[in-house]
Amino acid sequence: MTLGLVVNSIDTERAAYSTTQLALAALRRGHRPCYIELGDFGHSPDGDAQVHVRRVPEGTYRNGAELLAAARAVRPELADHDEPEVLFLRYDPADEIQHRPWAQFAGVQFAQLFSRQGTLVINDPFTLSGAVSKLYFEGFPRWMRPRTLITRDRAEVKAFIRDLGGCAVLKPLQGSGGCNVFLVEAGSRNVNQIMDVLSRDGYIVAQEYLPRAATDTRVLMLEGAPLTCQGTLCAMHRIGAADDLRSNLHAGGYVEPCQLTDDEWAIVEAVRAKLIADGLFLVGLDIADGKLMEVNAFSPGGLGCGEMLLGVDFTGTVIGAIEHKLWSHHRTTEVVGRPRQQAQPAGM
């Protein structure tokens, strides 16, 4: 299969990223991965969505760095009308807010066109169009989420902070990824300045502060269930730097293997039906202090870390699941009158 990996830019990809590991795993299983940047899409005068791709050259790569170097050296070319067979959205809209605001929605909008043409798109682009902001997160059960206020009214924010006992986390409704996340206290002299920064780009999210949130649990979910390979669960503790509110790895955090607690299992089980119904094939759940903190539906990371920590092939498991999903997709499109060449996945 031709696997199109949609990224912000191939120049910002890194060898350790999960997307790179997925490309390596696809090659190992005999597939044809290619990279697609957010500016590579188009729409032809004939009414079809089209895309330019950077095909990863066939070969054996010792690591992700070699694969990326080879892919970057390739000139983009216009894909054939039936390519890619799978479009895997692996970009982060938050990275585009400041300098390329047009790119935040370009990926999902063009992916919707490809989906309507019969291409298998993961995750579901119609769900992702609503998941660009944190409003999507508010659709999960209230009992598992921190208390949250979303508003642009400063008086409401201050009243909410007081109602929480005088301490809250403030962050933007769109974006984040650890950027512009502030811990504030009622009466702090810089609260107004912080709200100035956040409201400049839209709505403010004021959230209950959980003292243990500097250490969270990342659980990767595949088709509504915890990603498992050889009986091993892809879950890890992300531990923030001692002087940082965030647990993000780029903010100085690190990871270690973990077992899920009963509270974490309860959350994992409770979100299963919604993830399946919303067509979210691969997502990352971030759980801290017994609460679901984030659902990363666009570009969940952790595959490479999980493999290094636990010694099993999680990326191969994901590619195998895509193979089965594509086979089922071909059968479905054949039934509704859009026959396509179908290749039975390995093991069936």
| pLDDT value at 72 more than 60 | yes
* Six-digit token string for 66: 């070699």
CA dihedral 168, 251, 232, 269 (to 10 degrees): 20
| pLDDT value at 200 more than 80 | yes
The predicted-structure confidence for 105-137, as pLDDT tens digits, reads as follows 999 999 999 999 999 999 999 999 999 988 999
When the candidates are 1.10.10.10, 3.40.50.720, 3.30.1490.20, 3.30.56.10, the CATH number that belongs to 147-209 is: 3.30.1490.20
Residue linked to tokens 């201050």: 158
Parse the chain into domains and list their residue ranges: 2-131, 147-209, 212-310
Return the CATH fold of 212-310.
Answer: D-amino Acid Aminotransferase; Chain A, domain 1 (3.30.470)
Q: Between residues 139 and 174, which one has the greater pLDDT?
A: 139
The reported pLDDT for the residue numbered 211 is 83
The reported pLDDT for the residue numbered 78 is 98
Q: What is the mean pLDDT of the chain?
A: 91
CATH of domain 2-131: 3.40.50.20
The reported pLDDT for the residue numbered 254 is 82
* Six-digit token string for 30: 């005999």
Band of residue 341 on the pLDDT scale cut at 50, 70, 90: very low
| pLDDT value at 334 more than 70 | no
Q: Between residues 233 and 347, which one has the greater pLDDT?
A: 233
Q: Between residues 342 and 220, which one has the greater pLDDT?
A: 220
Percent of the chain at pLDDT > 70 equals: 91
Query: Can you state the angle between helices 154-163 and 191-199, rounded to 10 degrees?
Result: 130
Q: What are phi and psi of 163, to 5 degrees?
A: -65, -30
